[in-house]
Structure 1
Amino acid sequence: MPNRLADATSPYLLQHADNPVDWYPWGEEAFAEARSRDVPVLLSVGYAACHWCHVMAHESFEDPRTAEMMNAGFVNIKVDREERPDIDAVYMEATQAMTGQGGWPMTVFLTAEGAPFYCGTYFPREHFQRLLFSVSQAWREDREGVVGQGQRVVDALSAPRILPGAQPPDAAVLDAAVRGLEDTYDRSGGGYGGAPKFPPSMLLEFLLRHHARTGDPAHLNGEAAQTRGTALEMAVHTAHAMARGGIYDQLGGGFARYSVDAGWVVPHFEKMLYDNALLLRAYTHLWRSTGDALARRVALETADWMVADLLTPEGGFASALDADSEGEEGRYYVWTPNQLRAVLGDEDGAWAARLFGVTDGGTFERGTSVLRLPTDPDDPDRYARIRDALLRARAERVPPARDDKIVAAWNGLAVAALAETGALLDRPDLIDRARDAARLLTDLHVTGDRLGRTSRAGTLGPSAGVLEDYADVAEGLLTLHAVTGEARWVHVAGRLLDTVLERFSDGRGGFYDTADDAEGLFNRPQDPTDNAAPSGWTAAAGALLSYAALTGSTRHREAAERALATVTLLAEKAPRFAGWGLAVAEARLAGPLEIAVVGPAGDPDTEALHRAALMATSPGAVVSRGDGADDGGIGLLRGRPLVEGRPTAYVCRGFTCRLPVTTVGELVAQLAADGG
């Protein structure tokens, strides 16, 4: 019989609706029940594509004996971390403080007031059952100690956090951040740190912007081994290593969430929208900076995968594909030599095995291998034919499940990435997909100046937007305006950013992750560091900076600069976790450059000037496009007429412009002179 999760909109909660556990969704009803029964709360947090969440569900939450213990001794709450990132954030901080590590599923025991007193992540069934018994016993026999432990955690995590005051990063700070990244760079495998290794999406953007601003020397012809890695070297090497590794789906395109090893060989197979949106934009920008053919191919394949596998009927993009299929992690993606021969025949099968690194011993479990592409094939036509045959054969397998909820922040990232990729790589269909997703966000998720976080099947979910939703949606809409010239996107972004300033500000230049009228938790989350996606704090700074450059708003620019002050400290202490803030700081230092293009839509000269503007590599350059008569309420277009009736471009900083130009050659020369 279904439990209280049966009416949820979250696919993750619905996965648990038939558990024998008497799950509650997060809410006052659950805590009131805990107070009435005088029992602790057991909070379980996960997400639909999480492999170990499935494992714990099968082992424990579907097990009648374990469920009986949970129901008897606790009020049990299940939370989708993607739907309620605020709940996840505050209890993950407690978990990390208590255990020194975090992850999902997250298992937290709380008092009826919401104070955590024991935390962990995945527990095998026997261990979990012993833990349930021990916690229940401690609750009955040592209530004072249990409650005291919870209060000490709350007190420690709720203490005021005042980051040292500073100015936004200057050139010296940004140069030092690159040197700090050099010191931790994996010169063999690319990226930073060891296993598990995550795609450094935001750092790639910072490194490309730093190179564009400074022109740091690159040693891409075999000299890198004898030199300290430059920003561009680190970006190119890492991007190539990931694209050739198992973390990248060599058949279908798109990236897995992370690699379980340091060499990008074996992925954790779940594929997340946010990872792919961020990496799509990074590979497109790498192509823009260098003309790199591999970056172009990977960008287009990733965009096509997003559209093929994540696009929903409503026009948005689903959150993720599961790691598992048929109850096994990675089963959909891995191959054996015999499977290759069965699809391709002996000769082509053997060639494909050598090309993709598929061995009898395997690189993954059960003697299977993850496909990699260490070098380009010597026969491109044969490769294309074999890849197509394997992709068709894989389509006959049982596919991973899809979490089809729409998350506002991640769709904002997708809008930005698809719009730019479509414009730069001549794929107008991708611009159309970005516009469709933006319409879904603005028509369904946005109500006045407020934003809902999730929707599913055209129905808005119950969760309020958090800071990253406002910031990333604004970023996406501003980027879509740059590509299309449609003014409406700027105006919606402005409303969202005004809400950021009015409801998320901490009064010290930073931002909270939740609005001032959000549900109160034991601690109001606030974090300027990146995780798998940009920090809401620095994403807001970036969107505010771009909006100010488009509109001339001093208020928004000053807010961006105040928010960037904390990046100066992070650049010194932890540059690996400040990539987006560093990228935004590069944009501030560069101006950012403002480029206005005016001319009739569809006119070849207008289109050529617009494309040249979008190809500018100056960090964070903003582009606006109009017809020269109606500025659409966009400050950058105001007073920018056509020159002698011809399509015209204006290159500006702080609304102070160079002489207008009417040819692509003149525009490119001005951009080059201005670092673009």
Structure 2
Amino acid sequence: MLASSRHIPCILLRSFTSKASRLRPSIARIAPQQHPTAIRALNVRMAHTQGGSNRPSNRLANAKSPYLLQHAENPVDWYEWGQEAFTKAKEENKPIFLSVGYSACHWCHVLAHESFEDAGTAEIMNRYFVNIKVDREERPDVDRLYMTFLQATTGGGGWPMSVWLTPDLHPFIAGTYFPRFKFQQILHGVAEAWEDRQEDLISTGKNVIEQLREVSSIAASDTFNIQTAKDQVFSRLTKTYDERYGGFGSAPKFPSPSQTLHFLARYAALEKDASKANRARDMAVETLVKMYHGGIRDVVGDGFARYSVDDKWHIPHFEKMLYDNAQLLTASLELSLLTPPDSPSRRTLLQTANSIIVYVTRDLRSPEGAFYSAEDADSLPSHDSTVKKEGAFYAWTVQELDKILGEDSEMFKWHFGCKMSGNCDPSHDIQGELVGQNILYAAHSTQGTAQKFGKKNDTEVEMQLAQCLRKLKEYRDKNRPRPHLDDKILTSWNGLMISGLCKAAEVFQHMNNNLQLAEAAAAFVKSRLYDENTGELRRSYREGPGPTGQADDYAFFIQGLLDLYEVSRKEEYIMWAIRLQDKQDELFYDKEGGGYFASAPDEHILIRMKDTQDGAEPSAVSVTLHNLNRLSHFAEDRHAEYKEKAYSIIKSNSQILDKAPFALATMVDGAMMADVGMKQFIVSGPVWDFLSAIRQSFLPNRVLIHLDPESPPHELAKVNATLRSLLENKEPDTRPNVRICENFTCGLPIYDVEELKKHL
């Protein structure tokens, strides 16, 4: 099973599990251990009672999702999520088998190869079930609901996700990856239970949904204390921090920036206790440094893999996801601003950011300027191969290294920890695909390598290693087929990438074209995924727009637009963000209970969940809290409205924030921003020196507003009284200056950069 970094909050888990345990039939009872002969006999008996069926052609051939297309040739009679499948299940009175995954998921491929491509297994599935395949990246609303059921009833989750539903879409049993024989047992067991105890399963499914609906509607309260919550999150991270290898908790280790790195950066920037602030910064920085030097980073071709199966960040699950790289880009740049300019750690953080930008813009960028979703974990070892293997694109044998690198090979192998027998621990290589292979990681420092091989200095070693890596990349690009590219473009993940590129444009300033890259991605969304007439976003694009936008599409993209405005000075982005926030409020704001739903309205999603917990991505509701904090100072005429909605997010989640704030770290640091107060910087005129000074400090509560009296129109002034007053001044100040405003009270204009730095 591919582990998931998302778990439902413990308050919800305990509440639901205590009730659901009385309702759900266990897999053990539904699918008892059966001998193959017994399974064949059962198959014959049920064939007599229900009759055979001829499988129609696989419907996924018409899908747009790369994940669904991977299953278009399966002998399984797959349906997409939709009315056709639901109607068939009701008309034929069959349970639904729901399979959820994504295109870059290794264990999804394993389940497919073992079971979905097996004619015998497919025959069982087609005879007794209506089979639905869902791309969790296209339909996070479907994934969210049934993943909550899976986690609550089993205590864990992940992909592939396998759920059995009644024709009314009520879940009654769920799991993840099953080996083929076990999977066949479960299929037969569920089919037999549906024949013999159908009313029990229907009743169970109904009760499950009611219990989920009850516990997902936690009553609001006013008990939340921000000081207590932020200290609890910091304490939890301190206790789980791995002092030796960085990261939090034990293997498998996920980067999970939203749960750890982003919170720690903001805590470090705002905490008044210097020892705590430094501790927070150092844990986050060291984690990123260890990741950069580990095998989770593609040492040859840049970018970061999904997660590490071991404690050392050495052996990754090799899929590369846009959202991981986008968040790590932002985190590395924010933390670099908290790190002394001349420190080795700052250099590594900037190298981390550059590695991500190089990878994403080279390998995940579409010709139109948007960013694709992912690259697969599995690939063919060579152009002559017919069987894909996990990590085949990234691993090396010693013989290959010797052949490619020649006399430089010994130093290279020592530096990157390569061994004749391979350097992958067999306990982390379940399928034995990495036997004799080496995953490159910095086993020794450049200084240690220089000493061992008699080099003049670190610089000489770095140059020689860089030359070796170029040779390996050239060889890899020529001789190994690239992993499958998921060329689906997601609005939400492009929003995250836009934010990362905007931060890069600020930190690196004039050294690259990051702003242009961010603007190109935003332009793609506007032209292909946005309806100017309705103000609505679509979620995905591949050969045309995909499903309707979800809350994270709005939240992450609005965040990206706010960042774009601050770095580009173009009012079109801030005005678009305001309009999108209005549309998000219309579609997702809970007028009765407060806060925001995560799912768009859909009659087939039985529960509109709010899903406030961070996972591999930040919670959309929590990012919305950050957006509302900022918008209330950009469009300050609407401050009361935005503040009320922001407060409703905190209030509607106060019970979870009280009992498990570490599950909602992004929401906690959003509340921290509101508690400290946002700080407006209104810059007027050609003020590049002022902007440079502001941008070289990490100010998480910053709101940067641009005002040029000589360059109308001033659209933002229509919703910002402070800007209107400055523009209406009969004797406007034409000298470049910065005003710093707090609590809607502005200080005197600052005309000197050194004076400005004193206020930072």
TM range (shorter): over 0.9
1:370 aligns with one of 421, 430, 439: 439
Q: Report deviation, 1:107.
A: 0.9
Secondary structure of the residue aligned to 1:178 is helix
Q: 1:38 to 1:360 in 2, by over 3 A?
A: same
1:210 corresponds to 2:267: yes
- Show the 5 A alignment for 1:369-518: 369-377=438-446, 378=458, 379-396=461-478, 397-426=480-509, 427-447=511-531, 448-457=534-543, 459-461=544-546, 463-506=547-590, 507-515=592-600, 517-518=601-602
**Which digits, 9 at most, give the CA deviation of each residue in 1:224-278, with x for residues without a partner?**
xxxx982112111211111111111122221111111122111111110111000
Say what the alpha-carbon RMSD is for the aligned residues.
2.0
State the alpha-carbon separation in 1 of the partners of residues 655 and 419 from structure 2: 47
Match in the other structure for 1:77: 132
Matches within 5 A, 1:606-617: 606-617=687-698
Check the 8 A contact 2:67/2:135 in 1, yes or no. Answer: yes
Instruction: Please say if 1:342 is aligned against 2:403.
Output: yes
Q: Kindly state the Cα deviation for residue 56 of structure 1 after the two structures are TM-superposed.
A: 1.0
Task: Identify the residue that residue 542 of structure 1 maps to in structure 2.
Answer: 626
Aligned mate of 1:166, from 222, 231, 235? 222
Question: In the alignment, does 2:249 pair up with 1:193?
Answer: yes
Report the counterpart of residue 64 of structure 1 in structure 2. 119
CA deviations on 1:182-213 (whole Å, 9 max, x unpaired) are 12222222221111111130221111111111
Deviation at 1:571, TM superposition (A): 5.1
Secondary structure (helix, strand or coil) at the match of 2:172 reads strand
Percent identity, please.
39
Counterpart residue identity of residue 464, structure 1: T
Deviates more, 1:551-560 or 1:398-407: 551-560
Q: Is the 8 A contact 2:220 2:654 kept in 1?
A: no
Q: 1:591 aligns with which of 673, 677, 687?
A: 677
Partner SS, residue 464 of structure 1: coil
Q: Deviations over 1:557-616 (max 9, x none)?
A: 23123313466655554344322112322322332211121214xxxxx22212222233
Distance 2:255 2:549 in 1: 26
**Using a 3 Å threshold, how does the CA distance of structure 1 residues 145 and 171 change in structure 2: closer, same or farther?**
closer
Aligned to 1:15: 70
Counterpart in the other structure of 1:98: 153
Amino acid at match of 2:759: Q
TM-score, normalised via structure 2 length = 0.83
Does the CA-based 8 Å contact 1:206-1:579 persist in structure 2?
A: yes
Shift of 1:171: 3.4
Confirm whether residue 270 of structure 1 aligns to residue 301 of structure 2: no
Structure 1 counterpart SS, 2:738: strand
Give me the whole-angstrom Cα distance separating, in 2, the residues matched to 1:10 and 1:176. Answer: 41
Q: 1:168–1:566: 8 Å Cα contact kept in structure 2?
A: no
8 Å contact kept, 1:643–1:662: no
In the alignment, does 2:305 pair up with 1:256?
yes
Change (3 A) 1:518 1:496: farther
How many residues are matched? 654
Distance 1:522 1:423 in 2: 44
Contact preservation (8 Å) 2:224, 2:655: no
The answer to whether structure 1 residue 651 and structure 2 residue 736 are counterparts is no
Residue equivalent to 1:603: none
Task: Decide whether the 8 Å contact of 2:281 with 2:338 is kept in 1.
Answer: no
- Deviation string 1:126-173 (CA, Å, 9 cap, x unpaired) is 111121111111111111222122122122112152245136653343
Shift of 1:504: 1.3
C-alpha separation in 1, matches of 2:732 and 2:331: 35
CA contact (8 A) 1:246 1:370 kept: yes
Shift of 1:670: 1.6
1:357 aligns with 2:417: yes
Cα distance change, pair 628–615 in 1 and its aligned pair in 2 (3 A): farther
The answer to whether the Cα contact below 8 Å between 1:590 and 1:619 also exists between their aligned partners in 2 is no
Determine if contact 2:599/2:608 at 8 Å carries over to the other structure.
yes
Contact 2:229 2:668 in 1 (8 A): no
Q: Distance in 1 between matches of 2:692 and 2:643?
A: 26
Counterpart for residue 182 of structure 1 = 238
- Aligned partner letter, 1:128: F
Once the two structures are overlaid, the 10-residue window that deviates more, 433-442 or 170-179, is 170-179
The answer to whether the Cα contact below 8 Å between 1:624 and 1:637 also exists between their aligned partners in 2 is no
CA contact (8 A) 1:549 1:654 kept: no
Match of 1:670 in 2: 759
622-631 or 418-427, larger mean C-alpha shift: 622-631
Cα distance in 1, alignment partners of residues 278 and 203 from structure 2: 51
For residues 441 and 98 of structure 1, do their structure 2 counterparts lie closer, same or farther at Cα, with a shift above 3 Å needed?
Answer: same
CA distance, structure 2, for counterparts of residue 264 and residue 497 of structure 1 = 38
Instruction: Using structure 1 for the length normalisation, give the TM-score.
Output: 0.93
Say if 1:538 and 1:564, in contact at 8 Å, map to a contact too: no
Contact 2:393 2:483 in 1 (8 A): yes
Tell me the distance in 2 between the aligned counterparts of 1:572 and 1:167. Answer: 7
1:302 Cα shift?
0.6
Query: Mean Cα displacement is larger for which, 193-202 or 560-569?
Result: 560-569
Partner of residue 328, structure 1? 389
1:217 to partner: Cα distance: 3.4
Deviations along 1:272-304, whole A, 9 cap, x unmatched? 011100000000111122131100111011111
Q: Which residue of 2 aligns with 1:222?
A: none
Q: Does 1:232 align with 2:281?
A: yes
Deviates more, 1:549-558 or 1:52-61: 549-558
Pairwise CA distance, 1:654: 3.1
Look up the SS of the partner of 1:451 in the other structure: coil
3-state SS of paired residue (1:452): coil
Is the 1:628–1:637 Cα contact (8 Å) retained in structure 2?
Answer: no
- The unaligned stretches of length 5 or more in structure 2 are 1-55, 381-387, 425-433, 447-457
What SS class does the counterpart of residue 145 from structure 1 fall into? helix
Q: In 1, distance between residues paired with 2:86 and 2:612?
A: 31
Distance 1:363 1:157 in 2: 45
Q: Is the Cα–Cα contact under 8 Å of residues 299 and 441 in structure 2 kept in the other structure? A: yes
SS at match of 1:367: coil
The reply to whether residue 114 of structure 1 matches residue 200 of structure 2 is no
Match of 1:295 among 349, 370, 391: 349
2:664 is aligned with 1:578: yes
